[in-house]
Chains A and B, each alone.
Chain A
Amino acid sequence: MTGSDVVAGASAVDLADGEWHRLHPATPLLRGGFAFVAIAGFVLANLRERILGLFLGGGPGDGAGGDPIELIVRRGLIPLALVVVLLVLIVIVVIFWLSWRVHSFRITDELVEVRSGILFRTNRRGRLDRIQGINISRPLFARLFGAARLDINVAGHDANVQLAYLSGRNAEALRRLILLRAAGDREAGGTAAPQVEHDGSLGGMVTQRAREFVAPELDPQLAPPESVVTMHAGRLLGSTVLHDRTIIFVLLVIAAAVLAAAAHLFVVLFGVVPALLGVGSQIVRRFSRSLRYSIAATPDGVRVGYGLLSTNNDTIPPGRIHSVEIRQPLLWRPADWWEVRINVASHSDRQEGGRRSSTILPVGSRAEVFKVLELVLPGIVGDGSRELVVAGLARAVAGDGYTGSPRRAAVLRWFSWRRNGFALEPEAVLLRRGAIWRSLIAVPTARMQSVSLRQGPLLRMLRLADVHVHTVAGPIRAVLDDLDAAVAAGFFRDVAVGAVAAARRESVAHVANRARWQGMSRSHD
């Protein structure tokens, strides 16, 4: 079946023409071949003495009888052994070639489909309108071959479609194209996706490979637009030092040192050292990842760049962000720095390699937070609700737009009962929490999955209740505890109604967009 219907792909536009295409020829090697190479290397390393002995003329000693190679040599089975090795090699190469032959993908107007496997065939398709984001990663080995991996995150558990590996220059253009189609409101074919010149000759290929390796930003035409936030090394350093995690780290070090010195409990160190290594590496990673942080609006969605050595670029299509949290570690308050995190519907963050970060702004001033919010919640953080967001980051004041907990909630929330509150906008639910560790959670009503209200015996005695706005899994839990019971009941009702209304507005707009886009693409054909 993967015979003549598979078209040899050249440019991104051709790759997305709805026909079946094969992946980069080095794919089997990149996907599984390195295990083989490693085994071969291991065997060679073990044979080193023998090979050296062969060249230097000296025998490798009398040799123990249990060594299979010794056995082969002694019984004169070398030709047979060589034939076996050769056969194994041929089988492996054939399997590689076959697996490359049957591994193909296609991208149509509506879906992306990958089929693979020799004995156990798998076929996976993802609908383009369910795409949550596309991640390009370029591991070091793949970079040597000029290949890149495209992770297409589709909503749902373990629902990634992986195009591994594509030629690097096509990957970027293909991502753009898929995102355009996923957005569904623009014409896809007309975009200036770059054509890759194939000049066939080996020399040309080598220079092109070298060029790609030196210029990892793939294509000048597709170079990311100016980041709206620039990361200052000084601020990053300061925020890292003042981060809660660093404080905990330092306290742990002090505690361990005191214990070890005062009580001569050096055993403590064995327990503490792994914890320290863990926290320390987290701190270092946050710092090094964030050094080259960038965020920008592209026509395909918000593009977040991270990473110093292995670069990672994530593009999140508009409307795929399910909740946003702005929060502030305690010691950042004098500097008015904030951190922004998001929940996105995809489970790709647990995949190796293509690690997606949920932190969309590692540290930023208030103005930068608003710039980021305008990108991630367009139309929600508008002129009207800007004041609400500002109030959400500040102390609670009467009449600031938030409905808070009653005074009796102070039994449970000693400091934060004043700040603990919500504001309901047509497009988003804002939850303001925490007095010491301030945070503000915004859930777009159109993205909300469901809402629940809980009350246990203790809360009933206090006439309080908790409201939980359910969003897709992620670091953010949109929960507001200890509201007045009657207020909570009203909030529950309003959120349920708001969610339905927002979904209705959106589906009307979505259908209109799709119809328009389909009409356009048809006229283009």
Chain B
Amino acid sequence: MTDTTDLPVTPRGGVDPVPGEWRRVSPRYIWVDLVGSIISGLAATAAATIPFWVTQFVVLLTIPAVVLIIALIVAAFTPRRVRAIGYRLRDDDLVVRRGIMFQRFAAVPYGRMQLVDINRGPLARALGLAELKLVTAAAASNITIPGLPMADAEQLRDRLVELAESRRAGL
């Protein structure tokens, strides 16, 4: 697939329950994520100006300022955040990791996958990327792998469906 390397080192005090090599998503996904976070950042900033418009207190303009700064920081970290997305097909389950500040690791046994969806947003489609979504019987699972090149996504989906078929257990 795209790239197979060790991810940037786990931060101090952080965890890595399954150390080893992770597959990374396409670097092009940075643009998708960046545009997404810029749009939502601007929307949040605009929304944060409402108290000012209502009351006309200039002090309240600090709220959108703070929101804007946070949005900029979030946007600035996009490349690192995208590099931190990783997945690995182990013998019996798929492990996915995301996030640097807020880390999340999830493991789904192949036999528990009910469906594998491929979603493509407009920008991702322009860049030839797709998002893989794994559906289990639990809504909380919520496992997605964004930023896969289309061919890789289809290949991975077929592989996962095949693995799920072979390990399927009664629910």
Within 8 A of A (CB), among B93-112: 93, 95, 101-109, 111-112
Asked if A319 is at the interface (CB within 8 A of a chain B CB), the reply is yes
Asked if A117 is at the interface (CB within 8 A of a chain B CB), the reply is no
The interface bits of chain A over 469-504 (1 if a CB of B lies within 8 angstroms of the residue's CB, else 0) are 011110001000000011011101101110110011
Chain A nearest CB, measured from B41 CB (Å): 19
When the two chains form the complex, which single residue of A320, A473, A510 contacts B139, counting CB atoms closer than 8 Å? A473
Contact A450 B169, beta carbon cutoff 8 Å: no
Contact A500 B109, beta carbon cutoff 8 Å: yes
Decide yes or no: A471 and B111 within 8 Å by CB, A461-B13, A489-B15, A510-B169 being known contacts: no
Decide yes or no: A472 and B170 within 8 Å by CB, A449-B108, A496-B107 being known contacts: no
Contact A472 B17, beta carbon cutoff 8 Å: no
Could you pull out 19 A-B pairs where Cβ atoms are within 8 angstroms? A129-B170, A132-B171, A155-B171, A319-B170, A345-B137, A449-B140, A450-B106, A452-B104, A453-B106, A455-B102, A460-B12, A461-B13, A472-B138, A472-B139, A485-B15, A492-B18, A493-B18, A504-B169, A507-B169
- The interface residues of chain A lying within 8 Å CB-to-CB of B143 are 450
Chain A: residues with CB nearer than 8 A to chain B?
129-130, 132, 155-156, 319-320, 322, 345, 446, 448-457, 460-463, 465, 468, 470-473, 477, 485-486, 488-490, 492-493, 495-497, 499-500, 503-504, 506-507, 510
CA distance A472 to B139 in the complex (A): 7
Within 8 A of A (CB), among B49-68: none
Contact A450 B111, beta carbon cutoff 8 Å: no
Contact A507 B111, beta carbon cutoff 8 Å: yes
Within 8 A of A (CB), among B121-168: 136-141, 143, 167-168
Contact A507 B15, beta carbon cutoff 8 Å: no
Decide yes or no: A457 and B102 within 8 Å by CB, A449-B136, A503-B111 being known contacts: yes
Asked if B11 is at the interface (CB within 8 A of a chain A CB), the reply is yes
**Count the A-B residue pairs with Cβ separation under 8 angstroms: how many?**
125
- Which label, helix, strand, loop or mixed, suits the secondary structure of the A interface? mixed
Chain B nearest CB, measured from A426 CB (Å): 15
- The interface residues of chain B lying within 8 Å CB-to-CB of A451 are 106-107
- The interface residues of chain A lying within 8 Å CB-to-CB of B21 are none
Q: Name the residue on B nearest A509 (C-beta).
A: B170
Supplied contacts A450-B109, A453-B103, A507-B167, 8 more A-B pairs, CB within 8 Å: A452-B106, A460-B12, A460-B14, A473-B139, A492-B105, A496-B93, A496-B95, A503-B169
Q: Name the residue on B nearest A129 (C-beta).
A: B170
Contact A510 B17, beta carbon cutoff 8 Å: no
Decide yes or no: A489 and B169 within 8 Å by CB, A452-B105, A455-B102 being known contacts: no
CA distance A454 to B112 in the complex (A): 21
Chain A nearest CB, measured from B137 CB (Å): 5
Asked if B3 is at the interface (CB within 8 A of a chain A CB), the reply is no
Q: Name the residue on A nearest B105 (C-beta).
A: A453
- The interface residues of chain B lying within 8 Å CB-to-CB of A130 are 170-171
Decide yes or no: A460 and B138 within 8 Å by CB, A455-B103, A493-B18 being known contacts: no
Q: Name the residue on B nearest A131 (C-beta).
A: B171
CA distance A460 to B100 in the complex (A): 11
When the two chains form the complex, which single residue of B12, B18, B105, B138 contacts A470, counting CB atoms closer than 8 Å? B138
- The interface residues of chain A lying within 8 Å CB-to-CB of B104 are 452-454
Contact A455 B169, beta carbon cutoff 8 Å: no
Asked if B16 is at the interface (CB within 8 A of a chain A CB), the reply is yes
- The interface residues of chain A lying within 8 Å CB-to-CB of B16 are 489
- The interface residues of chain A lying within 8 Å CB-to-CB of B107 are 450-452, 492, 495-496
Decide yes or no: A485 and B140 within 8 Å by CB, A453-B105, A454-B102, A507-B168 being known contacts: no
Asked if B6 is at the interface (CB within 8 A of a chain A CB), the reply is no
When the two chains form the complex, which single residue of A129, A155, A319, A489 contacts B137, counting CB atoms closer than 8 Å? A155
- The interface residues of chain B lying within 8 Å CB-to-CB of A473 are 138-140
Contact B112 A503, beta carbon cutoff 8 Å: yes
Contact A503 B109, beta carbon cutoff 8 Å: yes
- The interface residues of chain B lying within 8 Å CB-to-CB of A446 are 169
Q: Name the residue on B nearest A479 (C-beta).
A: B140
Contact A490 B171, beta carbon cutoff 8 Å: no
CA distance A462 to B12 in the complex (A): 11
